[in-house]
A and B are shown apart, each in its own frame.
Chain A
Amino acid sequence: MNLFFFALAIQILPTIIIGFLPDNRKASVVTHFLLVAGLILGFSSSFNALVFSNTTQHNISIFGIPNSLFRFDALALYFLCIIQLVAIPISIYSYSYFKYYIERGKSVRSTLVFYTLLLVSTQLLVSANHSIVFLIFWEVMSISAYLGMIFEKEKKEVQTGSFYYFVMNHIVVYLLFVFFFLLHHQTKSWLFSDFHISPEAGKIFIISYALSLIAFGMKAGFMPFHFWLPRAHPIAPTVFSAFLSGIIIKTGIYGILRTFQFLNPTPEWLGWLVLAVSMISAIFGVWYALAQHDIKKLLAYHSVENIGIIGIGIGIGFIGSAYHSLPIQVLGFGGALLHTLNHAIFKSLLFIGSGVISQNLGTRNIELMGGLVHRGKYFVMLFLIGSIAISGIPPLNGFISEFIIYNGFFVTAKELKNYYPLVMLISAVGLAFVGGLAVACFTKINSIMFLGSERKEVKHFNISFYEYVSLGILAFLCVVIGFYPQPFIGIVNKVLNNGFVPVSSSSALLSINWFYISLIFGIIFLGVLFVYFWKRAIQNKYGRRTSAAWGCGYENVNPRMQYTASSFADELNEISKSVLVYHKNIKPSKKIFPAEASFESHSEDLVDNKFVLNGFRNFSSMISKIEFLSHTDIRYYISFILIILTIYGLIAFLWN
């Protein structure tokens, strides 16, 4: 893995070089060049290790020095591959994104440093084998993401949104500290490779699981803890929000999977719990998304949905672990792992797309968009590929991972009998329902943003070469994994069988008839091509022209008369009103002749509104009670520290 560390060294170089390059433009060019080069090198090394070597190394040497701080087992390599693979297009896009600000005279050098740190720390995080190393890089990752997030710190919403993220991170880190200390206490080691607690340990087992699931679940954005996502994603620079949504929340998933490795077999009820929480995340994530007008906020809620889908896979895996059933574990965790990759790909695609749009139009409100398809046809096609993939519709990659999860349901029902068929059926219906809502949501944003005519005049809509390249890479991956999933399934299978699922080799993943599915997708593709050309031939024969749309006799149709995003989703939002906190403010004109009237609708997050905001408010009022201790004189603080330390010292002294 020397090559990997060499690649990291290349990637970290910009942080030093930027110090000597006062010119923003040059700094950006150098940084992005080094980042992309380093990432490609890193990807090739970790991909090579994942695919071609079959040893799970515990002690590796870095440039000849043996150490146990890092470990590259299959799971770590898999996540490394995801990070590097997705970071390449994000970094390519990042060049064009920052160019926009450089042209407007804004300094981007510090943000570039944070971006670099974020990339490097995330890669080191997943390859860490020592708890403290893990925590250090976890903290570096979180803080650099926070610092990058406040790029436009003069805006009020940026301050509040990033603060949410900051607070959330500290809670997570605090819980993780306790988690790792517990593990250390139990196993007398700091190394991941030594951690193992079985359920016989009793309370410790449950407490560790609870800590890990809350901490990592918070980072991943499972439902009651999702509140930071819709706050932090919209305000972050697109590069960071793509990275946050595509990769950083996946480190939460990585953590949960690692925890499973430390603590197994899981009790059955834990599987149920994870399944239920994930199902709620998936359904309400997408339902909240449906009510949003802010494109990035909408995509943030979709991350909650997709994390929910990944969680469903993990829940199935936990149930399988409780019953020591290999096929169930393989299908559950396999679906989760593949969906992690898929979501990283299409979510960064969609975020980058949204960034391109909002940079061009200067707004994130989809109600002000429309008709963009006539300005950037190919861009719309790429965005559409991402949308179809995320809705889980064949023939793209989202379908493949959801298909594995559905198979997990079927196999669980078949293997475990009892009341399982009933529950698995309800889960399948839940997932189908999520799919239906996702279709609703993505038809909504695609049609409101791109189709019809322009609601607000678009001054310019340019998509740079770099943007096309990065979107193109991601869309290409969506298509490849969709049409030809076999190699990716093979990789996931290898990850599972190399030390993840305790007993080696189960062919449940490979026994799904992937060839047949590829064949059908191929037939769909060829069929579409064939019918399309046949249609063209007919049109050539009998003619084709364009004309005004049917206006029911009305002549003065204008763009404002088009269906809007809120009217499109209104019926569904009405149904979910009770959980959604969906407000409508209608002021109809009451006069005989048309007069001024108004309508507005907005939605609030129940968790955010009722619990988090209230919690913060209560907490700050609690804190304000001890405000009298606050002084401007530093000597007071020093004496406080002294008093506290004395108390601690006394306790420690008396304890022994």
Chain B
Amino acid sequence: MIQGIISILIILLLAPMFAGLVNKLKAIFTGRIGAPTIQPYYDLKRLLRKETINADSSSFISAISPVINFVSVVIAAAMLPIGLARPVISFEGDIILFAYVLGLARFFQILAAMDIGSSFEGMGAARETTFAVFAEPIFFFTLGSIAFMSGLTSIYDIYHSIRLDNVTYIIFIIVCSTSAFILAVTECSRMPVDDPNTHLELTMIHEVMILDNSGIDLFLYQYSSYIKLFIYAILETSFFYPFGVKSYTVGIIIFVVVIAVLSITLAVVETITSRFKMKNIPQYLLFATAIGILNLLIYTFTK
């Protein structure tokens, strides 16, 4: 329990740092100095002290959505293990709750975007909805496949059932981390699905949905999107734990290393690719789903 609480605190504290790290690396790769790694903290602090401005046409949805969004993302984060620590929320079937709690966050995010009644937000909301529909299967094909094969339904147990025994494990890691990476990119609106740094409303997905938010509302949205990115990073790191079974220190080291590798990968991908055409994104996501199925077949045939 104590370990779990420490884990969730780590997630809450380090989440903005991870986003800052990715941005910093990206700046370095593109030959800029870039903002400091802890820039997201400054941003959050600044937002906290700003006045909140809501659109004229907004309703109570706009007021509660950032809150629900934040709380559900934190609850989802509390289900993830860091290292060997058992998360705060861990029970049989939490893998389903994890996916659906993030669904709750998305439901209100979309509603809040549509609450403004502006077509910019509408555009973002429509895109978010479409891509989310195709992102859902990816999650089930990566983490769910292990759940079905091992018969375990708690995220913590699922990860700890992965055993480093043969060469298929290496293939398995490659496949899982690829599809988890694509999932992370989609869910967290990074390149090549979405460009978080664009300055044209027509090309955005996540950013345009929170276009008309400010102050504490924007704080909550931004913070939850940092946490969300970190959540998917943790999903990724957990595939590597079998390397350090039964040792807390090794677990932590693996965690740090994988996070570092992942941030470099994200930065590299964002540097060398450009955003896809919107209509090609579903194909990209179906590709990730197909990889997930591959993973499943590997698992089936080696059993």
Chain A residues within 8 Å of B, Cβ to Cβ: 370-371, 373-374, 377, 380-381, 388, 391-395, 399, 403, 406-407, 409-410, 413-414, 419, 421-422, 424-425, 428-429, 432-433, 435-437, 439-440, 442-444, 446-448, 450-453, 512-513, 516-517, 520, 523-524, 527-528, 531-532, 535, 538-539, 542-552, 557, 559, 561-563, 567-572, 574-575
Contact = CB atoms under 8 A, between A and B. Distances in A.
Given A371-B117, A446-B111, A532 B59 contact: no
A353 to B, nearest CB: 16
10 contacts: A373-B59, A432-B137, A437-B133, A453-B117, A527-B71, A535-B66, A549-B212, A550-B212, A570-B126, A574-B279
B64 A562 contact: no
7 tightest A-B contacts by CB?
A: A563-B122, A452-B117, A447-B114, A414-B151, A549-B55, A436-B133, A543-B51
A344 B14 CA distance: 45
Given A410-B93, A550-B120, A451 B59 contact: yes
B136 A433 contact: yes
Given A410-B153, A568-B129, 5 more contacts: A394-B100, A451-B61, A524-B72, A546-B58, A552-B120
Given A421-B300, A531-B67, A413 B151 contact: yes
B49 to A, nearest CB: 6
A451 B114 contact: yes
B55 A546 contact: yes
B53 interface: yes
A551 B58 CA distance: 14
Given A428-B148, A447-B125, A571-B130, A546 B68 contact: no
B133 A572 contact: yes
A391 B74 CA distance: 21
Interface residues on B, range: 35 or more
Contacts of B74: 527
B41 to A, nearest CB: 17
B115 to A, nearest CB: 5
A377 B55 contact: no
Nearest to A387: B107
Nearest to B68: A528
Nearest to B110: A443
Given A403-B96, A550-B212, A567-B126, A532 B48 contact: no
Given A371-B117, A425-B148, A513-B91, A545 B123 contact: no
Interface string B96-109: 11011101101100
Contact of A422 (B70, B93, B110, B296): B296
Contacts of A421: 148-149, 300
B127 to A, nearest CB: 7
Contacts of A520: 75, 89, 97
A550 B118 contact: yes
B160 to A, nearest CB: 17
Contacts of B104: 388, 393-395
Interface stretch (B23-31, B139-147, B227-235, B262-270): B139-147
Contacts of B106: 439
A69 B145 CA distance: 50
B76 to A, nearest CB: 11
Given A371-B57, A436-B136, A545-B51, A571 B127 contact: yes
Given A446-B111, A528-B68, A542-B50, A432 B139 contact: yes
B71 A547 contact: no
A428 B143 CA distance: 12
Given A393-B103, A421-B148, A451-B111, A443 B97 contact: no
Contact of A575 (B89, B126, B137, B282): B282
Contact of B71 (A446, A528, A562): A528
A439 B107 contact: yes
B125 A443 contact: yes
Nearest to B115: A451
Contacts of B56: 546-549
A428 B144 contact: yes
A528 B215 CA distance: 18
Interface of B: 48-61, 63-64, 66-68, 70-72, 74-75, 89, 91-93, 96-97, 99-101, 103-104, 106-107, 110-111, 114-123, 125-127, 129-130, 132-137, 139-141, 144-145, 147-149, 151, 153, 201, 211-212, 215-217, 220, 278-279, 282, 296, 300
A440 B130 contact: yes
Determine which residue in B52, B66, B99, B217 has the highest number of CB atoms from chain A within 10 A of its CB, and name it. Answer: B52
A345 to B, nearest CB: 19
Contact of A562 (B61, B122, B149): B122
B129 A572 contact: yes
Contacts of A524: 71-72, 75, 101
A550 to B, nearest CB: 6
A452 B114 contact: yes
B169 to A, nearest CB: 18
B144 A552 contact: no
Contacts of B120: 550, 552
Nearest to A373: B59
B97 A563 contact: no
A450 B119 CA distance: 15
A481 to B, nearest CB: 16
A271 to B, nearest CB: 18
Nearest to B200: A552
Nearest to A539: B52
A44 B282 CA distance: 51
Contacts of B115: 373, 447, 451-452
A513 B296 CA distance: 28
B227 to A, nearest CB: 13
Nearest to A544: B52
Nearest to B300: A422
B116 A549 contact: yes
A172 to B, nearest CB: 34
Contacts of A393: 100, 103-104, 107
A433 B138 CA distance: 10
A538 B48 contact: yes
Contacts of B134: 436
Given A436-B133, A532-B67, A443 B107 contact: yes
A451 B117 CA distance: 7
A406 B96 CA distance: 8
A546 B136 CA distance: 36
A380 B61 CA distance: 10
Given A532-B64, A567-B126, A374 B59 contact: yes
B57 A453 contact: yes
Given A433-B137, A439-B107, A572 B118 contact: no
A176 B120 CA distance: 54
Given A433-B136, A443-B129, A377 B60 contact: yes
Given A542-B50, A549-B57, A516 B91 contact: yes
A544 B54 contact: yes
A511 B100 CA distance: 21
Contact of B53 (A448, A547, A575): A547
Nearest to B96: A406
Given A407-B93, A429-B141, A563 B123 contact: yes
A380 B60 CA distance: 10
A559 B296 CA distance: 48
A571 B300 CA distance: 35
A550 B132 contact: no
B66 A563 contact: no
Contacts of B59: 373-374, 377, 380, 450-451
A551 B119 CA distance: 9
Contacts of A548: 55-56
A413 B148 contact: yes
Contacts of A571: 126-127, 130, 278-279, 282
Contacts of B122: 562-563, 567-568
A413 B146 CA distance: 12
Interface core residue of B56, B132, B148 (most chain A CB under 10 Å): B148
B118 A551 contact: yes
Contacts of B133: 433, 436-437, 439-440, 572
